[in-house]
Amino acid sequence: MILPVILSGGSGSRLWPLSRKERPKQFLSLFGEQSLFQDTVKRTVDIALVSKPLVICNQDHRFLVAEQLQELGVESAAIMLEPIGRNTAPAITMTALQAMKGGEDPVLLVLPSDHVIENKKLFYAAVMQAKAYADKGKLITFGIVPKKPETGYGYIKAGGQLDVDSVYLVDQFVEKPDLKRAEAYLAAGNYYWNSGMFMFRASCFLEEIKKHAPDILNACRVAFDDCVFDADFVRLNEKTFGGCRSDSVDYAVMEKTSNAVVVPIDAGWSDVGSWSALFDISQADDNGNVTLGRVLTEDVKNSYLRSDKRLLAAIGVENLIVVETEDAVLIAHKDDCQKVKEMVAQLKSKEI
């Protein structure tokens, strides 16, 4: 049995001003009527041998999660509520403990809730391919076939090929490179973008984190024993869960284990990590512009223009991101979209 684990704790600050703390990007309808969170859940429904999803999210978003699941007509296995963010290693550890609570030992399909995958058939094929290795006790990471020398993602270097499948041992996890190194990775052909999607049996993951980050496992066990089960919600105690150190699953486990394999996937993936990334996967007009809402343009090229409330008029500009909301307007060059997070940090420090 495959148990989808939906990680929904992110704040989505790079898509400010549309994405806010109280309603981050995973709960927004950026493509069509459904949110990224709903699209993620829906992708899991048609996978063979899949059970109800287990969601872990910020406790402030519990009603958003419940409401959006209800809109899909999907029941959750549980909704775990984090009182404080502790990154992906503790989050996945808590879900593994929850998954094994009744004596079961399912294969966990761990998915961030804010990704876009355009080709579902290729995604399903990769999941079933990965399950065969999860059943053998492997820890699988999904590597995205790179399309360009991207400097905003970490990379996975593939090692030896396993059997006849296009599945490889993980040779190395690589930090976000500079442009020259990213170009070398692309040319080498055995480097993949680190998607942040994983698959492994719950017990196998717990064994590995016990080896490589026993303090996280011990702290999570204490926090799990202190959980309050309230209808569909599993409430983590702030004091006990807050005692766990923050770390990513990459650093805590995947970079250290000798049991990791990478399954390449080329299915139109994006983590929608910036406005320029959103632009890249949106349908542009003949001038290369993406426009949403009340927008008028004259001699505008290669720009993303979005208006939620007021009329937005642009003349003689190119390569811009302009996003209008009720209380804020963002204007940025497409090449500087990664700096939006720094702008959000300024807003917080100035309490704006």
Amino acid of residue 115? H
Other C-beta atoms within 10 Å of 311: how many? 10
311 and 178 fall within a common domain: no
Q: What is the mean pLDDT of residues 203-220?
A: 97
Check whether 338 has a pLDDT greater than 90. Answer: no
Q: Which domain holds residue 112?
A: 2-270
256 and 299 fall within a common domain: no
CA 98/CA 58 separation, integer angstroms: 17
228 and 320 fall within a common domain: no
155 and 7 fall within a common domain: yes
- Give residue 221's Cα distance to chain centre: 25
239 and 293 fall within a common domain: no
Predicted local distance difference test score (pLDDT) of residue 168: 95
256 and 324 fall within a common domain: no
Predicted local distance difference test score (pLDDT) of residue 31: 79
pLDDT band at 349 (very low <50, low <70, confident <90, very high): confident
Predicted local distance difference test score (pLDDT) of residue 88: 96
298 and 266 fall within a common domain: no
The size of the chain, in residues, is 352
Number of domains in the chain: 2
Among 238, 270, 302, the domain boundary falls at 270
Predicted local distance difference test score (pLDDT) of residue 165: 74
Q: What is the mean pLDDT of the chain?
A: 93
CA 264/CA 165 separation, integer angstroms: 10
12 and 72 fall within a common domain: yes
Check whether 296 has a pLDDT greater than 80. Answer: yes
DSSP string of 105-143? Answer: -PEEEEEETT-EES-HHHHHHHHHHHHHHHTTT-EEEEE
148 and 200 fall within a common domain: yes
Over residues 71-115, the pLDDT tens digits come to 999 998 899 999 999 999 999 999 999 999 989 999 999 999 999
CATH code, domain with 217: 3.90.550.10
Percent of the chain predicted with pLDDT > 70: 99
Among 215, 235, 270, the domain boundary falls at 270
Name residue 291's beta-bridge partners: 305
Predicted local distance difference test score (pLDDT) of residue 313: 97
Over residues 113-145, the pLDDT tens digits come to 999 999 999 999 999 999 999 999 999 999 999
Alpha-helix runs per DSSP H in the chain = 36-45, 62-72, 88-99, 120-134, 179-188, 202-212, 214-225, 238-242, 249, 275-280, 340-349
CA 246/CA 97 separation, integer angstroms: 18
318 and 173 fall within a common domain: no
194 and 314 fall within a common domain: no
Among 243, 270, 297, the domain boundary falls at 270
Check whether 50 has a pLDDT greater than 90. Answer: no
CA 49/CA 199 separation, integer angstroms: 14
225 and 297 fall within a common domain: no
pLDDT band at 47 (very low <50, low <70, confident <90, very high): confident
